[in-house]
Amino acid sequence: MCAALISKLVGDALVGEGIYDAHIKLNNYPYLDIKAEFIDQTTATDLIENKQDKNELIMLPRDGLTLSDLIAILHTHKYNGYPVIASIEEASIIGFVLRRDLESIIQQRTLSNVESNMNTYISFSRTVQQQSNLIHLYRLLNRSPTTITLDTPTTTIIDLCRKLGAQTILITNEKGHLVGLLTKKDIIAYVKQKKLK
């Protein structure tokens, strides 16, 4: 018992963190410690500006996308999910769709006996007319993704990830149009960067 206590005290004095914390850091798991304090006066705007991965925001329109367009987007942009918007002109958020769901639908269409024409249109609309050349994907949508505005404090964003487990957070402007996207990894990178300063 004494040996365990002495080794714990020596380990805490030398390292300052447990074996599990070290394992999380070693494997780069996206983990935000719920006990760690983060006090900062920045907002979502600062997080977007300091993102390490400054790729363009890929959005899927609710209507007008063909199967070949969707396959090209999935092939070119290897993201885990994509925001769905009303139209390219009006970027109001309709929902969020996961890559794995889109890939499974494409795989089902190509493996089944259904004629998979690459010019088949895709719709994320709630009500659409039944057409033979239309794939209806409304059921795949997360219609209430985690959404914040540009002036949301960073501490609130971190709490969304910690307490709600948000992996992807959509950012809108004052008109409700989509302007950015943050992942949990973006937020963790920002927190690490701030701790180093």
pLDDT tens for the chain, 197 residues long, are 888 788 777 777 777 677 767 767 777 776 666 666 767 788 888 888 877 677 788 999 998 898 889 999 999 998 999 999 998 888 899 999 999 999 998 888 776 655 557 788 888 988 766 666 788 899 999 999 999 999 999 989 988 888 888 889 999 999 889 999 998 888 888 888 877 66
pTM, two decimals, is 0.79
CA torsion sign for 87, 90, 91, 94 is: negative
Rounded-to-10 torsion of CA 126, 104, 65, 71 = 170
Contacts of residue 89, defined as CB under 8 A and 6 or more positions apart, other chains included, come to: none
How would you label 61-83 residue by residue, b for 16+ Cβ within 10 Å and e otherwise?
Answer: bbeebbbebbeebbeeeebebbb
3-state class (DSSP) for residue 123: strand
Residue 53, phi-psi category: left (phi > 0), alpha (psi -120 to 50), beta (remainder): beta
| Domain architecture of the chain: domains with CATH | 1-31 (no CATH), 44-196 (3.10.580.10)
- Rounded to whole angstroms, the Cα distance separating 70 from 77 reads 10
Helix ranges restricted to H, 27-165? 44-49, 67-76, 99-111, 154-164
- Rounded to whole angstroms, the Cα distance separating 145 from 94 reads 9
pLDDT in tens, 29-85: 766 666 667 677 888 888 888 776 777 889 999 988 988 899 999 999 989 999 999
Residue 186, phi-psi category: left (phi > 0), alpha (psi -120 to 50), beta (remainder): alpha
Residue 127, phi-psi category: left (phi > 0), alpha (psi -120 to 50), beta (remainder): beta
